[in-house]
A and B are shown apart, each in its own frame.
Chain A
Amino acid sequence: MTAALALQGAQSVLALILAPLITGIVRKTKARFQLRRGASILQPYRDLARLLRKESVLADNASWLFDLAPTVILAFTWVAAALIPVLGTDPVLASAADLIAIVGLLASARFVLALAGLDIGTSFGGIGASREVMIASVAEPAMLMLIFALALIAGSTHLPAITAFVQSPALGLRISLGLGLIGLIMVAIAENGRIPIDNPSTHLELTMVHEAMVLEYSGRHLALIELASSLKLLLYLSLIIAVFLPWGADIHWSGWPPYAERLLVYLAKIVALAFLLGLFEVSIAKMRVFRVPQFLGAALMLTLLAVLLRLVSGSF
């Protein structure tokens, strides 16, 4: 019980500490491929420290919701990230680590963020919020269909159970899993506002989604929001690892402290994924906002196809 609690605590803190680093690695990769030197991969930490030091400027008509929203958004995202088994499946929170609940927690965070975007009553906040909910209205069904496909394959929506099933030798090569992986990547790109859906480093008004919602935030509020979006990126990468790439977590080198190998393997995977994300982003252009539903519609169709294939035959 104590060990499980300690593991859970370590996992939660690890997510919080690791998140800015992943953002830094993605930025650095992009910069190198664009033949720039780019900022250090530790720059996101420095940004957070700088934002925390500064005073926060609130708009004259900001309400209590605007003040409280960053804390709530970070808390929801953090809990969702902490529920993903990274270092091992933990019995303390096992009863809460349901994939639908994790998606629901992220939806709650988005709900609050979209409301915060509307609070000041500026046109940019509104444009961001209305586009965000439009994107979510297609991305969320795709995500739920993916969960449905996983539930059909692994017989559960419980994340540790899915991980255990994918690791087991019973699996073999599955077409439906492949379709699901592509669908999950597409959803992850949209949910994190990466290129080609949204550009996290733009302030060009016609293309902003996420940045438009958080435009009025500054100081410690902005630090919390930035940390929450880094954490969300880490969460989706960890989810891809937990569901589709769980291999290698059971290796054991003699003489190593427990969990150290798992941590190393996890770090290697997540850095590789962050590098791939950066590579993907420099090789593609951003699309028009009203092309996004087609992009996500494709993700929805892929995951639905995975479900149907799986229903037709257990061997797909």
Chain B
Amino acid sequence: MMLVALLLCVAGLFAVAVAATILAANVPGRVLTYGATAALTLVALSLSALGLFGGGIETLRLPIGLPWLGANFRLDALAAFFLVVVNLGAAASSIFALGYGRHETAPQRVLPFFPAFIAAMNLVVLADDAFSFLFAWEFMSLTSWALVLSHDRDATNRRAGFIYIVMAGFGTLALLLAFGVLAGTDGNYAFAAMRAHAPDLQTAALVLFLVLLGAGSKAGIVPLHVWLPLAHPAAPSHVSALMSGVMTKVAVYAFARVAFDLANLSDWRLSAVVIALGGVTAVLGVLYALMEHDLKRLLAYHTVENIGIIFVGLGLALAFRANGLHAAAALAATAALFHVFNHSLFKSLLFFGSGAVLGATRERDMERLGGLIHRMPKTAAYFLIGAAAISALPPLNGFASEWLTFQAIFLSPHFPQWGLRFLAPAAGAMLALAAALAAACFVKAFGITFLGRARSPQAETGRETDKISLAAMAGLAALCIVAGAVPGTFTAALAPVSQMIASDHMPSRGLAAPWSPLVPSLGSANSYNGLVLLALLAAAIALVMLALRILANGTSRRAPAWDCGFPDPSPATQYGAESFAQPIRRVFGTIAFRAREEVFMPQPGDTAAARIHVRLIDPVWEAIFAPIARGVGFVADTMNPLQFLTIRRYLMLVFLSLVVLLAVLALWL
């Protein structure tokens, strides 16, 4: 019943997409498209929430697609949870776009693809056979690719689109092979058939490798993240929010579905790979983000970090499960899934904020922003909440899920394997480093963009964004606070999912007692209570304000800045994005990016300006992608003469290849 209704919502979204091509560019077209998308995703959101709490499994087979397979769909707890994430993000994004879409210069390039993209993400999560899954996956890639290219006059966007489509095609190929391996020699592509028999270790390892390539490249696992910071910012901001906040989660879903459900990975060595990759991804992702001064690209790089945190959690869950430690596995899985939910909230919020800044100033470069807190106070407040939440600061939601991840790591002495016992604290150290660097990164993102003095005329004149966009941001910011205050309610809602993938769930007093603290496992003395913390902080702030009113001289005077007696009127003398990150670049960048600084000082008496030249080398691009690109270029150049042959030679080549094929076939059989 729920499943049919959800599929009807998806069909409705496709219908909106088709209608949008006809309604095209006028104002009612925009309002209708985004309004209908928002309404449909809100319906789908409540349906999937009901499905999550209902706990049952529904399946459906439609007679479309491959004739012997049909199109299979399934709604279980895992799918229902990810549908909540997808549709919540999509609804927020549609509402934001109702206001923000005004800034769109070519709406006909965005409107039709937007609902289709959301529909495709829903279908990926609902699919229950390899064919429907890959079809929906590819549809999701192509619609998002079209959205990335909606501003194709810009050469960097065209390059982003090219790299994205190459990586997306590669990812789908890897997933196709993974499902092929899982289906085995019978070639039964229904997920039910794959679930039925567990693969042996070699097959499982191969499947994990292929799924990490396929789903990992979409999620942004290092070293497959290269397309992500290019493609996500290139799209309009509400689509960036969808791609970064939601589509990466669909990739996490694909990984979780294969690893926990279809392939049922049960060897600890495989989980160690996932934990290690997650740790490296978290640290490198945030370091990349710190080096960035394009606001949207910084946010996109930061998604890579959070994906790393999520994969550490999933890897730990696999490791605990492989050792039969179900309570610990449930804790790790709940931590990862709660972080999935939280990240979709604050990453969408931050991209909305960057969209509002972009709409007001036409600037993404932080070196040309600054002081926007005066012109855009509400956007600044919401962005600040998102920034604090993503930096894992209590009492907000990012801290709650990182706290759970750390608690899962603290259970690592229970591992019987020495490898895991040492790997888990190492991953913990990496997560701690990533969390501290994330706070630095968002001091930079918020501080340089919204605080200080305006660095360009556009930043000087920017105006507050429209009310609907602000409402979308306010809603997400409120959710960040609520999920931080009553995390127990959210982890209780995740109980059916962790029951499904880890055969256990975290202890909880249920949804009825939201004030109860978060307890990682039964009998543990550890607990975190966001509500108590929030109440204490509110009380402390109130007390301090009261004391100030009674004790202090309440008058304030405005005066020029003091600055140790040497204030400089030029805004160029304040710290910018590059200079703010300089100490961290010197400490970490010299290792990770082989960062070098060269200072050119003019001779005494010379009035030429001094210059500083910073050189960063992207290790992943240099070590992996540049050689591949050179190899492809070399092969293409060598094969180039084949384009200029006569028809006789082409016929001869066709004949020769036919002969070779037949000979191979004859020898093989």
- Where the two chains meet, the residues of A that have a C-beta atom closer than 8 Å to any C-beta of B are 52-65, 67, 71-72, 74-76, 78-79, 82, 93-96, 98, 100-101, 104-105, 107-108, 110-111, 114-115, 118-127, 129-131, 133-134, 136-141, 144-145, 148, 151-152, 155-158, 161, 203, 205, 215-216, 219-220, 223-224, 289-290, 293, 300, 304, 307-308, 311
Measured between beta carbons, the chain A residues less than 8 angstroms from B374 are: 61, 63
Q: In the complex, what residue of chain A is closest to B430 when comparing beta carbons?
A: A141
Interface 1/0 per residue, B530-549 and A, CB below 8 Å: 00110011001101110010
Among B393, B540, B564, B579, which residue has its beta carbon within 8 angstroms of that of A111?
B393
Interface 1/0 per residue, B367-401 and A, CB below 8 Å: 00011011001001000100010011110000100
Measured between beta carbons, the chain B residues less than 8 angstroms from A98 are: 403, 526-528
Among A71, A122, A130, A148, which residue has its beta carbon within 8 angstroms of that of B580?
A130
- In the complex, whether B433 has a CB less than 8 A from a CB of chain A is yes
With both chains docked as a complex, state the minimum distance between the C-beta of A167 and any C-beta of chain B, in angstroms: 15
- In the complex, whether B643 has a CB less than 8 A from a CB of chain A is no
> CA–CA, A299 to B654, complex, Å?
68
Tell me if A136 and B440 are in contact (CB < 8 A).
yes
A-B contact pairs, 30 of them (CB 8 A): A58-B556, A65-B373, A75-B540, A79-B536, A82-B536, A104-B403, A111-B439, A114-B443, A115-B384, A121-B371, A121-B451, A121-B574, A124-B564, A125-B574, A126-B452, A126-B575, A126-B579, A129-B443, A134-B440, A137-B433, A137-B584, A138-B587, A139-B436, A141-B436, A145-B425, A148-B409, A219-B556, A220-B552, A311-B421, A311-B422
Tell me if B551 and A52 are in contact (CB < 8 A).
yes
Among A55, A123, A141, A155, which residue has its beta carbon within 8 angstroms of that of B555?
A55
Q: In the complex, what residue of chain A is closest to B560 when comparing beta carbons?
A: A60
> CA–CA, A98 to B403, complex, Å?
10
Q: In the complex, what residue of chain A is closest to B448 when comparing beta carbons?
A: A118
Tell me if B552 and A52 are in contact (CB < 8 A).
yes
Q: Which residues between 492 and 545 of chain B lie within 8 Å of chain A, taking CB atoms?
A: 517, 524-529, 532-533, 536-537, 540-541, 543-545
Q: In the complex, what residue of chain B is closest to A205 when comparing beta carbons?
A: B564
Measured between beta carbons, the chain B residues less than 8 angstroms from A55 are: 553, 555-557
- In the complex, whether B249 has a CB less than 8 A from a CB of chain A is no
Tell me if B540 and A118 are in contact (CB < 8 A).
no
> CA–CA, A140 to B537, complex, Å?
22
With both chains docked as a complex, state the minimum distance between the C-beta of A235 and any C-beta of chain B, in angstroms: 14
Q: In the complex, what residue of chain B is closest to A144 when comparing beta carbons?
A: B432
The secondary structure that dominates the A interface is helix
> CA–CA, A270 to B329, complex, Å?
42
Tell me if A57 and B563 are in contact (CB < 8 A).
no
Tell me if A123 and B433 are in contact (CB < 8 A).
no
Tell me if A101 and B528 are in contact (CB < 8 A).
yes
Total interface residues on B, using CB and 8 Å? 86
Tell me if B371 and A59 are in contact (CB < 8 A).
no
Tell me if B394 and A108 are in contact (CB < 8 A).
yes
Among B435, B536, B562, which residue has its beta carbon within 8 angstroms of that of A96?
B536
Report the number of A-B residue pairs with Cβ-Cβ less than 8 Å: 270
Tell me if A219 and B451 are in contact (CB < 8 A).
no
Measured between beta carbons, the chain B residues less than 8 angstroms from A133 are: 439-440, 443-444, 584
Tell me if B526 and A56 are in contact (CB < 8 A).
no
> CA–CA, A57 to B453, complex, Å?
18
Tell me if B559 and A57 are in contact (CB < 8 A).
yes
Measured between beta carbons, the chain A residues less than 8 angstroms from B582 are: 130
With both chains docked as a complex, state the minimum distance between the C-beta of B435 and any C-beta of chain A, in angstroms: 7
Q: Which of B20-28, B470-478, B565-573 contacts A (4 or more CB under 8 A)?
A: B565-573
- Where the two chains meet, the residues of B that have a C-beta atom closer than 8 Å to any C-beta of A are 370-371, 373-374, 377, 380, 384, 388, 391-394, 399, 403, 406-407, 409-410, 413, 421-422, 425, 428-429, 432-433, 435-437, 439-440, 442-444, 446-448, 451-453, 517, 524-529, 532-533, 536-537, 540-541, 543-545, 548, 551-564, 567-568, 571, 573-575, 579-584, 586-588
Tell me if A107 and B540 are in contact (CB < 8 A).
no
Q: Which of B371, B447, B551, B559 has the most CB of A within 10 A?
A: B447
With both chains docked as a complex, state the minimum distance between the C-beta of B423 and any C-beta of chain A, in angstroms: 11
What 10 A-B pairs have minimum CB-CB distances, sorted nearest first?
A: A126-B575, A121-B452, A118-B447, A133-B440, A121-B453, A134-B583, A75-B540, A140-B436, A144-B432, A141-B432
Tell me if B452 and A119 are in contact (CB < 8 A).
yes
Q: Given that A107-B439, A123-B563, A156-B525 are contacting pairs, would A76 and B537 also be in contact in the complex, using a CB cutoff of 8 Å?
A: yes
Tell me if B558 and A95 are in contact (CB < 8 A).
no
Measured between beta carbons, the chain A residues less than 8 angstroms from B380 are: 65
Tell me if A71 and B544 are in contact (CB < 8 A).
yes
Tell me if A118 and B575 are in contact (CB < 8 A).
yes
> CA–CA, A203 to B374, complex, Å?
30
Tell me if B429 and A145 are in contact (CB < 8 A).
yes
**Other 18 A-B pairs with CB < 8 A, given A57-B558, A65-B451:** A57-B562, A71-B548, A98-B527, A101-B399, A101-B403, A104-B403, A105-B533, A118-B575, A120-B452, A121-B451, A123-B574, A124-B564, A131-B583, A133-B444, A137-B587, A155-B525, A203-B564, A216-B563
